[in-house]
Every structure is written in structure tokens, then in C-alpha cells.
Structure 1
Amino acid sequence: MSDAPALAVVEATRDRSHDPAYHDYVQLLVGNVIAEAEAQGWAVTRLAADHGADALLADTARADAVVIVGGEDIHPDFYGGPTGYPNESRHLPAADAAQIALVHAALVRRTPLLGICRGLQIVNVALGGTLVQDLGEECGHVNRGVPIPQVLTTHTAHAEPGTRIAGLLGEQPIEVRSAHHQAVDLLGAGLVVSARSHDGHVEAVEHRDAPVLAVQWHPEDVAAPCGQLRSLLGGLSQRVPVAA
């Protein structure tokens, strides 16, 4: 049996046959998370949340840490919003429910959790928060009308002094790569804002008491600043108990 700490990397689904280009790009991003985690010594299990909450909770019961990665919009039923908003993606309610249940389980279990993009929104919604459903056509957080590999854009984020994000990435302006058309609106219970974007939108949150941290950007993108993903994943290992 391996002595390596166990990391669960959780995506919404592995089935995006309706959109092969998007599917391929998501696989690239998830693969980068897995490769960096394995380089840091994690034993990684890759899981799809659309198999349901019971399966996901069982499969993560022994995980030492969890990463929830990016993907489709959360169904508005989970935060009391309407459907029919601009740039609405397809919804995966079973995956939403499973990842929300996983956030609650991580809080109870004190399991370190890192959310990326959709993962931040899942954390916020799980704790009673809401979302700005669309940031507008000129929001600067996503490139529109371009091939999928070009949708990510570069902008700055500013960490709040004294937060975990500042401790991991520094308090100077952070260059980030993002591709999101939604953002945190009402903040979930127990969360604090740990970084904001150049235009004031929430770019990172963390829990006041639990080892939960989430970023709205993609540190796993190939054009992200060197070492950013390494630092964020390293923050998970700082909270994993050392085996005797």
C-alpha cells in the first residue's frame, strides 16, 4: 500500500461528446492538475461528479485532500436564480448536487479542499452564496468568439493582506488566467474574500475556520505564471497529517 497522501481530483463529468473541442481542453487542464499533484507526491484519483452524490462521497471518504476543477455553469436552482440568462451553458444538476455534498463533507471531515473556477462557485453555492449569472460581453474575464484554446484571458487579481492566498502567492498583484462569465455575488456562510480582480469581482475565497480555499481563475492553464499551481496544491499538503 502506498504511503503517498491521497488526492481526489473531481470534475463535473467525463462526457462532453456534444462538444469535442471543449472536452479536449478541459481534459488538458485537468491533466495539468494531476501531473503537478503527482510531481508533488500525491496519489491521485480522478472522479466524475455526475455519477451521483452517494458515489462521490464514498469515493472521497479516504481522501487526504480534494480539488474541484472547472466546468459547466451550476444550475440556478441551487442558488435561487432564473434560467435563460445570457451565455448560459448546459447544466449538470446531478454533478452540482454531488459536488455541493462533497463541500459539506469536506467541512465536516476537515479535509483540505481547493476549488478552481467552477470549483469556487460550487464552494460558494454550497454555503448559501449566490452568483452573478453573466458578467457581460466586455467583462474581460473570458474571450468570446474564438477557438476554445483561446478563450482564456489574462488579467490581474489582488490578494487581501493576511489571507491564505497572500501567504501562498504574495500580496503583490497576481497575474491570472481566466475564462469565466459568472462570479460570486452574495458570499456564502463562513467564507471571506481573499482576492479581487482588477474590476472588483471576487477572484478567490477561503473559509474562516476550515482548510477550504478556492480561486476563480485557472492556475493549471499552460500560460499561467510558473509555479502558481504548484503553490496552490502545496497549500493543500500543508494541512495533511503527516503519517507516523
Structure 2
Amino acid sequence: MRPLIGITGRRLAAGAVHSYHPRFGDLHLDVYWSDNGRRVQEAGGIPVLLPFESADSGVIDRLDGLLITGGQDVHPDYWGGDPSVVSADADPRRDANVHDRERDAYEIALVQAAVARRMPVLGICRGNQVVNVALGGTLVEDVPILDVIHAAEEAPPTPGHANHIVSFVPGSLANSIYGASARTNSLHHQAVLQCGPGMEATGHAPDGCIESIEMPGFPLLGVQWHPEWHMDLDPVFPWLVAAAKNYRQSFSTSAATEVH
């Protein structure tokens, strides 16, 4: 059977979408980048969109893999950052770029539940940062403080345009997926600073910015770029689906053993 891959998203007020009638302005929409589901499907999985309420619903026990997606910054309260960067008047339901503690909480809970079950996890951009924070790590508040080389990279002319090289640690999970290096896009202004306990930085940009993290012995990988927007199917999606199939098979085997 094709594995079920849970995909996280964000929540906005309908009033943030200008084409909606004003009568719907205060109602909420769950919003997901469609490319993530499309890439999961192309790789052989079944995408399952997860609303905020799914974090404590038991849905994680019915999934085979988890994809934490991109978006706004993680609230500094979750990783010991500077609280002054948070605007007290900002409304995450009206502005997709401001901190959203509710989204942070739901995604962190899902990551922790998945890791406890050794379920495959992929974090993309913000999702990479969420994975690290969920497991006790910290973030760089603003990437340009690392080095002007990374900060000077121009935004790609299209979302899928690859514009910098990431080099991977030999023997790492990322290395097994991508080889020694990969050309990726760059669409972020925060990044991993210190990895959480048990996590390792296994991919770096030329300026030293951490671009991939993983947990040795676990099917868990975070990437700082957006593989869903690369022109061709990025190999990380077939990896996620294959790992999810293995997870489903091991779970089924364990269940069968218990029955007998």
C-alpha cells in the first residue's frame, strides 16, 4: 500500500484573501502549498493535509511519515530568541509572515510524537527549523549575521531555480540522498544555530550556514531549502516515501508478531 504522509500547513482568516466576500472575513482557512502534496504523490505516497487540531487527535498513529513545511519564523519563546522581534499587534491569521505560536505548538507536537515512534520526518525550510527547535535546538535570528556571502545571494528568479551549493558530510543521510553536494534554492532569513541533543549538522552552504540536519540512526532529515520547488522531483521525496514504506512494514510486522 502507498504510505500516508502527513503534511502541515498554516491558518489564515478569509479576510487575508482579497477575493473573498467580506462576510467571510473572520472565518478561517487552512492553507497548504500544493507543491508538497504533488511531490509526495509523484514519489509514490498519499498526501494527508493536517489541520492544527490534528496534533493531539491521535492522527500520528495512522500516518507513515511526516512533512513539516515552510513558512514564517518560529516564535522566539520556543528556542530562547529575542522576544523584542515579536510585534504585539501582529495577527498571524491576517498576515502569513508574522509569528504564529499556535502553528508552532502543533508542528512541534507532531515532530515530537513522530520521533518518539521513529516515524520518518522531513522538515523543509521553516520545517527544518521547527524540527531542530522541537528537539531542543536554537536558531540564527537573521542569516546575514553569519556571512555576507550567503546574505548576498539573490533570490531565485523562479521558486524552483537552484542558486547555491550545499555540501554534505560523508556518510550522512543527506549524503546518501544527494551525494557530496547539491545545488539548491535559497528562500530564508533564519537558520539552525545549535543542533538539538542527538542532532547533527550534515549540510552547509559555502559561508558555513547549516542547511541540513539529521539524527543518526533515525529516519529524520531537515533541509533549509525548498525541494518541492525544484524543477525536477528532488530525491528527498522518494527517500521520505521509501522510509515511510519501511516504517509501515516494520509496524505491520510488529503487530503480526504480537498477535501470534
Bin the TM-score by the shorter chain. Answer: 0.7 to 0.9
CA distance in 2, matches of 1:238, 1:190: 24
The answer to whether the 8 A contact 2:124-2:222 is kept is yes
Compare CA radii of gyration and give the structure with the larger one.
2
Residue 236 of structure 1: CA displacement? 3.0
Matched, 1:166 2:179: no
Corresponding residue for residue 110 of structure 1: 118
Aligned pairs for 1:78-227 within 5 A: 78-85=78-85, 89-136=97-144, 139-140=150-151, 143=154, 154-171=163-180, 173-223=181-231, 227=234
| Structure 2 residue corresponding to 1:34, chosen from 26, 33, 37 | 37
CA distance in 2, matches of 1:16, 1:205: 35
The answer to whether the 8 A contact 1:96-1:122 is kept is yes
Amino acid at match of 1:47: L
Deviations 1:153-191 (A, max 9, x none): 7211001000011001111x3101121100111210110
Percent same amino acid at aligned positions?
A: 32
Amino acid at match of 1:140: A
How many correspondences in the alignment?
228
Mark the CA change 1:5 to 1:232 in structure 2 (over 3 Å): closer, same or farther. Answer: closer
CA distance in 2, matches of 1:131, 1:14: 25
Deviations 1:103-131 (A, max 9, x none): 11111111111111111101111111111
CA distance in 2, matches of 1:221, 1:193: 23
CA distance in 2, matches of 1:165, 1:54: 30
CA distance in 1, matches of 2:129, 2:101: 14
- Unpaired runs of 5+ residues, structure 2, are 19-30, 91-96, 254-260
Residue 208 of structure 1: CA displacement? 2.1
The answer to whether the 8 A contact 2:120-2:240 is kept is no
Q: Secondary structure at the residue paired with 1:220?
A: helix
- TM-score (norm: length of structure 2): 0.76
Residue 198 of structure 1: CA displacement? 1.3
Q: Secondary structure at the residue paired with 1:178?
A: coil
Deviations 1:17-36 (A, max 9, x none): 5377xxxxx85xx3222112
The answer to whether the 8 A contact 1:36-1:229 is kept is no
Matched, 1:54 2:56: yes
Corresponding residue for residue 73 of structure 1: 73
Amino acid at match of 1:167: S
Larger helix fraction of residues: 2
Q: Secondary structure at the residue paired with 1:241?
A: helix
The answer to whether the 8 A contact 2:64-2:247 is kept is yes
- Unpaired runs of 5+ residues, structure 1, are 21-25
| Structure 2 residue corresponding to 1:241, chosen from 248, 252, 258 | 248
CA distance in 1, matches of 2:179, 2:164: 16
Mark the CA change 1:133 to 1:19 in structure 2 (over 3 Å): closer, same or farther. Answer: farther
- TM-score (norm: length of structure 1): 0.80
